[in-house]
Structures are given as structure tokens and as C-alpha cells.
């Protein structure tokens, strides 16, 4: 029995974490039955979501989950791809995870209106008296992380340029194809979809939808992936 630990659907997304959505789509692609449950952060092997419990074996990290599914169930998530395509898509996945992710975090957490209607709900369970202090601590840690990672040092105009170039790159990989994998989705689709969908989430005020409008292939792709993997809406 496979249990995928993440959060709950919110903000019109299957999960607030694109990494959890990536892992969920990999499970769907692998054709493995699973149950999704809310994570207890005290039990996550690396302190992050997602993680998997596969018959008692704990597997943290969306990329390690992919490797686990490949190893244990013999799934080839790159099936049908030329080595050059598989390489370019792997690089694009890492651009999403290690670059665009931080732009998403900055928009959701550092923008006061977005924080109010978004991540603030993660703190609902904290005792009311110390909640503002916890929020302050988390914000302080995040500011440090964004500065260290580098995204926190860019101006809005510079961030626009970075988003534009990243969207242009993803759009180029999708041009003329239904999925990054071609006619059928591949492993990279799990990641590209999860991150583009998260960045275009209409619940938040963001520069991303306006920039993505220059690349119509992106919206069409998100709708296609959504219909395929989350037909329930």
C-alpha cells in the first residue's frame, strides 16, 4: 500500500506544494494505486513534503520518489524520448524546482495580500497567543533563505525578466506537442505542469499570468494536463 504524504487541495490547486503534485502525477503515470494523506511535518524524513510510505519504506523528496518508482516498479518515465530530449527536460525540471519555485515562494509569502489569503492558513492550528510570533519567525527565516538563494536580491523588473525567459524555455519545449513527452505525458510533465500551474494560480496576485500570456501554449498545456490527471476539477 502506497501512501503519499502532502497537504490538502487548496487555492484551486490539487496541493499547495508543486512538489507534492509532481509526486502524485508520477504515481498516476506509474499506474500505482495510492492514498494521499496530510503530512505530519515532525515525521517527514527530510523535514519537507512530499514523502511516500511504500509498505513501510519511507521515501522523501519528489525526485527520490521518482527513482524509487523506477527501481521498484520498473517504470521508465522517459520512455520514447531521445537522450537529448530527456536531458533538456531534466534540466527544465530542475529550473522549475530550484529557480521558479523560489519566485513562487516569494510571491506567495512576501506579498502581504497573497500571504493573508494563502500561506497564513498553514498557521491556523498554532495557538492564537503565539501565532503572530511563529509567523514572524517563519517570515524571518524565509527572508534569509530567499536572500541566500539569490532570488530575494532581484528587483521586480529583474524577476519579470527571469520569469519571461523561463516561460519562454518551457513554451519552446512544449511547442507543437500535446505534452513534454510528445503525444503521451512523460515524467517531466509531472514537474512542468505542477510548477506552471502553481505560478499561474489565479488565487494569487502575480506577474506570472501576464507574462505567460505571451506564450499561449502554457495555458493550453495546463488545461490539458489538468483534464488528464485531475478530471474531477
Ligand X SMILES: N[C@@H](CCC(=O)N[C@@H](CS)C(=O)NCC(=O)O)C(=O)O
Interface with ligand X, residue 191, by CB under 6 A: no
User: Residue 179 has what DSSP assignment?
Assistant: B
**What nine digits make up the cell of 64?**
527520490
> Does the footprint of ligand X cover residue 27 (CB under 6 A)?
no
Determine the Cα–Cα distance for residues 148 and 56; give it in Å rounded to an integer.
36
The candidate with the shortest Cα–Cα distance to 68, out of 187, 205, 204, is 187
Could you give the CA distance from residue 64 to residue 72 in angstroms, rounded to a whole number?
12
**x-marked contacts with ligand X along 31-50 as a string, rule CB under 6 A:** ----------------xxxx
Between 61 and 78, CB nearer to ligand X: 61
Smallest separation, CB 50 to ligand X (Å): 6
Which residue in the set 5, 26, 27, 62 belongs to the binding site for ligand X (CB under 6 A)?
Answer: 62
61 binds ligand X (CB under 6 A): yes
17 touches ligand X by CB under 6 A: yes
Smallest separation (angstroms) from ligand X to the CB of 62: 4
Contact map string, positions 66 to 105, toward ligand X, x by CB under 6 A: -------------------------------x--------
- Tell me the closest approach of the beta carbon of residue 49 to ligand X, in angstroms: 4
Please name which of 120, 89, 110 lies closest in space to residue 11, comparing C-alpha atoms.
120
Q: Does 188 bind ligand X (CB under 6 A)?
A: no
Task: Name every residue whose Cβ is closer than 8 Å to that of residue 230 and which is 6 or more positions away in sequence.
Answer: 14
- Between residues 97 and 107, which has the closer beta carbon with respect to ligand X? 97
Give the nearer residue to ligand X in terms of CB position, either 46 or 177: 46
24 in contact with ligand X (CB under 6 A): no
State residue 53 phi and psi, 5-degree precision: -115, 105
Cα dist from 139 to 85, 113, 172, whole Å: 39, 14, 35
Q: Does 19 engage in binding with ligand X (CB under 6 A)? A: yes
Number of chain residues interacting with ligand X (CB under 6 A) = 10
Q: Does the footprint of ligand X cover residue 63 (CB under 6 A)?
A: yes
Measured between alpha carbons, how far is 175 from 140 in angstroms, rounded to an integer? 40
Q: How far is the CB of 211 from ligand X (least distance, A)?
A: 21
Give the burial string for 180-189 (b: 16+ CB within 10 Å, else e). bbeeebbbbb
| Residues 3/53, Cβ–Cβ less than 8 Å | yes
Residues in touch with ligand X (CB under 6 A): 17, 19, 47-50, 61-63, 97
Amino acid at each position: 500500500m502506497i501512501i503519499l504524504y502532502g497537504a490538502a487541495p487548496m487555492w484551486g490547486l490539487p496541493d499547495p506544494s508543486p512538489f507534492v503534485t509532481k509526486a502524485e502525477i508520477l504515481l498516476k503515470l506509474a499506474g500505482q494505486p495510492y492514498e494521499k494523506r496530510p503530512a505530519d511535518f515532525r515525521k517527514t524524513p527530510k523535514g519537507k513534503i512530499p514523502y511516500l510510505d511504500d509498505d513501510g519504506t519511507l521515501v522523501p523528496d519528489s525526485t527520490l520518489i521518482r527513482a524509487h518508482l523506477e527501481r521498484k516498479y520498473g517504470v521508465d518515465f522517459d520512455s520514447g524520448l531521445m537522450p537529448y530530449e530527456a536531458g533538456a527536460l531534466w534540466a527544465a525540471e530542475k529550473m522549475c524546482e530550484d529557480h521558479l519555485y523560489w519566485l513562487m515562494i516569494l510571491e506567495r509569502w512576501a506579498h502581504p495580500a497573497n500571504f493573508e489569503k494563502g500561506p497564513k492558513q498553514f498557521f491556523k492550528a498554532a495557538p492564537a497567543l503565539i501565532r503572530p510570533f511563529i509567523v514572524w519567525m517563519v517570515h524571518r527565516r524565509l527572508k534569509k533563505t530567499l536572500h541566500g538563494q539569490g532570488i530575494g536580491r532581484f528587483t521586480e523588473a529583474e524577476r519579470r525578466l527571469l520569469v519571461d525567459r523561463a516561460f519562454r524555455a518551457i513554451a519552446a519545449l512544449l511547442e507543437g506537442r500535446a505534452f513534454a513527452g510528445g503525444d503521451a505525458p512523460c515524467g517531466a510533465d509531472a514537474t512542468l505542469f505542477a510548477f506552471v500551474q502553481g505560478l499561474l494560480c489565479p488565487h494569487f496576485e502575480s506577474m506570472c499570468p501576464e507574462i505567460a500570456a505571451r506564450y499561449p501554449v502554457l495555458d493550453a498545456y495546463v488545461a490539458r494536463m489538468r483534464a488528464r490527471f485531475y478530471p474531477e476539477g
